[in-house]
Structure 1
Amino acid sequence: MCILFIAVNQHPKFPLIIAANRDEFHQRPTTNSRYWEDRPAILAGKDELAGGTWMGINRDGSISALTNIRAPGREVESAITRGELVMNYLNGKTKQRKKYAEVLSESRHNYNGYNLLFGDLNKLYVYNNFDDSLVPLEDGVYGLSNASLNSPWPKIATGRDALARYCQHANVLDTEHLFELLKNNAPADDAALPKTGVPIEWERRLSSIFIQSDDYGTRSSTVLLVDHDKHVTWEERTFNPQAEQESVQHFEFDIKSS
């Protein structure tokens, strides 16, 4: 499960800002973000258990990120790993990418619940396989977690509001402020907790933007910036179960014109 905050044409310098947390069991083997040896145009982390990823970008500017939908009782053990959806998009050809929404719709029953962000600087979309819905992201600020786009969850509202305020008042972007947004570990009040079918203790634990516990929590935070010159900045910070920072991966490149 992950959370994404996305600003489209809200900052004077950066038409696209994505701030994201990856939440996962700490024991799940993971490789930090890097250019993949067998796909050197792709920058992403790797889920070593299933082989996919939760978020990545291609040197041609194609972007994709995944969040699981929290739906106890609807999970199927034999479902295909959702992490391949991100890689399939990033690894596809231009013509294939244009038809990706059709591919997602046709294959939606093969996967457990998910939202998939995909597209590029010109246009991003969010596909939800439970609803079989495709939403284009117009100019604005969005939050995406483990329900539908902009669900009225406290942590979605908190992160969206913080990102919107920052875009309006920051002529020079300091990524530290975005990482502070992602490190917000304040839980929601019980009265505001969503009812997703998990025990109340889990609802409380999962209600903050940054999740900390011994077994499950925020494993990494990633900030992705694309400026008007199509220069990409990607920074990932990883954390241990005590929420202590363990590593930083920083990459910059110019989007290759097709």
Structure 2
Amino acid sequence: MCILFFKLDVNPPTDGYKLILASNRDEYLDKPTKPASWWQDHPHILSGLDMRKGRVGGTWLGISKEGRLASLLNILQPQLDRNAKGRGPLVRNFIKSDVDCLPYLQEIAKEGQLYNGFNLLVMDLPRSNSIPQIGYYSNMSGKDPELLTPGIHSLCNAIIDKPWKKAIVGKRKFEEIVNSATKRTEEKLVDQLIEFLNDDTPHPEPQINIQCNGELTLKQQQERSAVCVKSPDLRCGSRTNTIILVNAANKVKYVERTLQEPIDIENLKWLRNNYDFNLSSASSSY
């Protein structure tokens, strides 16, 4: 269970942002994860990493100094195919490559049936004044990969054409925040977006139970209907918040707030990592 909101402006004001992105990674608390850092084998790429046996090195969201960005959200389904291909490399491979968004997704679509359900978002944010590319593909939609128009979008654990209520309601709140982004400092904008990502207000959604063939209790459905998922009974929930800001001058701020491992559900401890860099050079701080 994950959710992502973003605004892409191809012609931002000088004090504005080319990209504002806010994302929650929802996952079981016992799955080992490396907090966001620069990759050792590709030091121009920044992301958190899956550290599970057999899945080491996969990721759900990342960005490169060259402006390559990708995010993967699973589609909620009642039965997972344990023999399906791992989805983590779908993000990793795009960020490492220099293939345009649509051709990359078209290659993935050729073997889309080999994976469990997913939404895949890919972006190329050029340092020049050329128009950024945004590509989207879901192997559960029955549609070909497509290019999205700039603007405000939201994705959750359903296909983009049938969003859950929390994605619809959250998109409106996200729009309010980002449309007044220049009225506050960068730090206050980040704090407001993190507060937004931690809203656990339920937005009842029948589709959640339908996608699970009625296997969830009413309580579990309510937990999953919020932007911030908290499900202590199943030991899962929104364990990582990520904010990515790219201003008009191509300066990037990457902020990750994530649960410290090992995770004690009775005594949650959070880590916050901040990275500030340009699309041509980078430095990090903690």
- Tell me the TM-score normalized by structure 2: 0.82
In the TM superposition, 1:60-209 aligns within 5 A as: 60-73=66-79, 75-92=80-97, 94-95=98-99, 99-121=103-125, 122-131=132-141, 132-149=143-160, 151-171=162-182, 172=184, 173=186, 174-189=189-204, 195-197=210-212, 198-199=215-216, 200-209=218-227
Unaligned 5+ segments in structure 1 are: none
CA distance in 2, matches of 1:190, 1:120: 33
SS in 2 for 1:71: coil
Q: Is the 8 A contact 1:145 1:156 kept in 2?
A: yes
Alignment coverage as a number of residue pairs: 255
SS in 2 for 1:195: helix
Letter in 2 for 1:202: Q
Q: Is the 8 A contact 1:238 1:246 kept in 2?
A: yes
RMSD: 2.2
Deviation at 1:99, TM superposition (A): 2.4
Deviation at 1:211, TM superposition (A): 1.1
Are residues 1:227 and 2:247 paired? Answer: yes
Letter in 1 for 2:133: K
CA distance in 2, matches of 1:98, 1:256: 24
Q: 1:217 to 1:147 in 2, by over 3 A?
A: same
SS in 2 for 1:146: coil
Deviation at 1:72, TM superposition (A): 1.0
CA distance in 1, matches of 2:245, 2:258: 18
CA deviations 1:151-172 (Å, max 9, x no partner) are 3422101210011112222323
CA distance in 2, matches of 1:160, 1:152: 10
Deviation at 1:209, TM superposition (A): 0.6
CA distance in 2, matches of 1:150, 1:156: 11
Unaligned 5+ segments in structure 2 are: 126-131, 282-286
- Tell me the TM-score normalized by structure 1: 0.91
CA distance in 2, matches of 1:138, 1:79: 31
Deviation at 1:243, TM superposition (A): 8.6
CA distance in 1, matches of 2:154, 2:178: 15
User: How much identity, in percent, do the aligned residues show?
Assistant: 30
Are residues 1:55 and 2:85 paired? Answer: no
CA distance in 2, matches of 1:155, 1:255: 32
Deviation at 1:138, TM superposition (A): 1.3
Q: Is the 8 A contact 1:154 1:193 kept in 2?
A: no
| Residue of 246, 250, 255 corresponding to 2:270 | 246
CA distance in 2, matches of 1:14, 1:221: 19
Deviation at 1:195, TM superposition (A): 3.0
Letter in 2 for 1:36: W
